[in-house]
């Protein structure tokens, strides 16, 4: 049963890997990452709302559910919006590799902390020596798959440019925030998992989370991005699938809401990360969603295998 649920976690990560290039293309047409995020969340809210109603569940929490639970239970959507915005801001400051690796580090560490102390209603899982070893192996695989496999002259050149335009303290602050952003991502997954338990429906919890994210991103658009909505002529040539980023995002959230109460936040985060990295390799290999093609590198495969071994060690399966 556990292996089957871990497979669902991998699928969730693959879904997220496909959402990124879809939203990236949408961003190029609408001319703003904030507006692209708003459109993506809007589509996600409508999609998951319809599915929730079809399932027979209600869309909004009852007064008893709101008053009888801690305030943090409703923050998952807001945290997701902050995490999304953080990725937008980190990329031009730190480059592609650090923007990926630092949040992943934060996610793995926070997922372990949540499990160890049973935070946000999660099941408490003691921090054993095997779990520590598994986390180390997992992080080693991540470094191999993401850092070593993608170390290029272009990235090295970007790092030199950063050193000339950013102060050491500024770069340090951005790197710290990268780790914190990853911790926020793991936190929102744990919160949304508990929300699903409280409202009695993973679909309803996903809708509530997406609705809150939609509202937060709307505020960002109103405060930060004052440009008008793009016209029909401006988005001419945009393929139909460029609008499904919100659908993919809502499916990812739904799967994590289902998984967290069953296998814990830590294992949900780590299996989804492996799926995301593996899915990104597949997307690049085939040039899916109009993304640049890139051959599979031996280090990427080795890194993913090492990460899988780390997860199996964490779970005590090897």
Range of the domain at 87: 2-228+242-314
The DSSP symbol for 166 reads S
Q: Which of 43 and 121 is assigned the larger pLDDT?
A: 43
pTM greater than the 0.75 cutoff: yes
Domain-embedded: residue 269: yes
In a domain, 236, yes or no: no
Count of domains observed in the chain = 1
* Residue 91: band (very low, low, confident or very high) from pLDDT cuts 50, 70, 90: low
Residue with the larger pLDDT of the pair 220 and 155:
220
How far is the CA of 18 from the CAs of 35, 73, 115, 141, 318, in angstroms? 19, 28, 28, 21, 31
With respect to residue 205, please indicate whether it lies within any of the assigned structural domains.
yes
Assess if residue 158 is contained within a domain: yes
What pLDDT does residue 165 have? 60
Residue 162 lies in a domain: yes
Task: Print burial letters for 211-246: b (CB count within 10 Å at least 16), e (below 16).
Answer: bbbbebbbebbeeeeeeeebeeeebeebeebbbbbb
Distance separating alpha carbons of residues 100 and 91, to the nearest angstrom: 9
Domain membership flag for residue 233: no
Is residue 223, in this structure, part of any structural domain at all? yes
Token reading at 97: 């590799």
* Banded pLDDT at 219 (limits 50, 70, 90): confident
pLDDT bracket for residue 190 (50, 70, 90): very high
Instruction: State residue 65's pLDDT score.
Output: 86
Q: What is the mean pLDDT of residues 84-96?
A: 71
Per DSSP, which regions of 97-199 are E strands? Answer: none
| 140 phi/psi in degrees, rounded to 5 | -60, -45
Residue 234 lies in a domain: no
- The vertex-286 CA angle with 280 and 290, nearest 5°, equals 85
């Amino acid at each position: 049963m556990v292996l089957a649920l871990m497979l669902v976690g991998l699928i969730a990560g693959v879904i997220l890997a496909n959402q990124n290039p879809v939203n990236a293309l949408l961003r190029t047409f609408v001319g703003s990452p904030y507006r692209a995020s708003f459109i993506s969340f809007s589509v996600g809210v409508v999609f998951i709302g319809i599915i929730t109603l079809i399932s027979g569940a209600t869309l909004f929490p009852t007064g008893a559910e709101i008053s009888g639970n801690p305030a943090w239970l409703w923050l998952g959507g807001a945290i997701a919006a902050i995490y999304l915005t953080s990725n937008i801001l980190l990329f031009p400051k730190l480059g592609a590799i650090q923007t990926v690796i630092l949040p992943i580090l934060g996610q793995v560490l926070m997922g372990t902390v949540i499990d160890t102390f049973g935070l946000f209603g999660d099941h408490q899982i003691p921090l054993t020596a095997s779990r520590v070893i598994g986390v180390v192996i997992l992080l080693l695989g991540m470094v191999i798959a993401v850092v070593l496999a993608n170390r290029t002259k272009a990235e090295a050149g970007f790092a030199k440019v950063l050193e000339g335009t950013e102060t050491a303290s500024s770069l340090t602050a951005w790197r710290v925030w990268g780790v914190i952003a990853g911790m926020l991502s793991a936190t929102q997954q744990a919160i949304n998992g508990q929300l699903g338990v409280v409202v009695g429906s993973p679909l309803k919890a996903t809708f509530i989370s997406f609705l809150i994210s939609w509202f937060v991103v709307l505020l960002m658009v109103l405060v930060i991005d004052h440009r008008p909505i793009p016209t029909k002529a401006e988005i001419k040539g945009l393929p139909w699938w460029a609008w499904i980023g919100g659908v993919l995002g809502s499916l990812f959230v739904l799967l994590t809401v289902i998984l967290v109460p069953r296998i814990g936040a830590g294992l949900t985060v780590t299996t989804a990360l492996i799926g995301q990295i593996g899915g990104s390799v597949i997307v690049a290999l085939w040039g899916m969603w109009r993304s640049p093609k890139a051959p599979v590198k031996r280090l990427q495969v080795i890194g993913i295998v090492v990460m899988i071994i780390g997860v199996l060690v964490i779970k005590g399966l090897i």
